[in-house]
Amino acid sequence: MSLVRRTVGTLIHRAYRAIRHAGAITPGSPAGYRFRRIGDGVSIAFPPGAIFGEQWIEIGDHTLIGERVSISCGMNPGLELGPDAILRIGRGCAIGRGTHVVAHQSIDIGDDVFTGPYVYITDQNHVYDDPDVPIGRQWPRNSPVSIGSGSWLGTGAIILPGTTLGRHCVVAGGAVVRGEFPDHSVVAGVPARRVRGYTPELGWHTPNGSAPNGSAPNGGAPNGGVPNGGAPITPQPTAS
């Protein structure tokens, strides 16, 4: 490699690092002031995804949000969504690259929640009540979402409206989740179901009526279950 090419490459990479640093959204940056609350130590990496409805978004202290993450309230900018926060992300969270969190009524993400890349979380979905009207033209339906503190969502997981995850839950990669799951649940599959749980009496175990251990991440191992081995999903319209 020639000296000129090496020098130009070095300058380009230094410039890009400087742009990323300057473009990050933090409590002290102009874009940070648009949020209802953005806590100390928060950083939204550059380049961001679609971000709008900031006045209804609260982000807790020391939360890190990766590149190209979309966090938004409403269908489009400029809507009036009422006096209260709609999207709340707790303190100490890490939101993976390319994730989308799209709120219309209420999404509450607890403290210390980590996600892999390309997770999708929404509280609104299209309906198909009328068989004669195109689904995309039917009025969508909202249902609140809550993700308990200390939970981990694997790569490509989809959290649908009406989902409540308890504290310290694991969602396998590629899972499509709807429904209520108690604390310390391992959730996997399409549609997702609880494949492992924890009680002081039994420790980590397979709940009655659930899939065998082999369908849980890493064969159901309680400690090594990085949930990126979920079954792939067939692309489908899951939300607006």
Structure-token pair, residue 152: 């981990």
Q: Is 168 a catalytic residue?
A: no
Edge to edge, what strands does the sheet with 114-115 contain? 43-44, 64-65, 94-95, 114-115, 152-153, 170-171, 186-188, 193-199, 203-205
Q: Among 62, 126, 168, 205, which one carries the catalytic annotation?
A: 126
How many Cα atoms within 13 Å fall on the side-chain side of residue 20? 10
Distance CA 82, CA 137 (A): 25
Name residue, tokens 């849980």: 216
The SS3 call for residue 9 is: helix
Residues designated as active site: 126
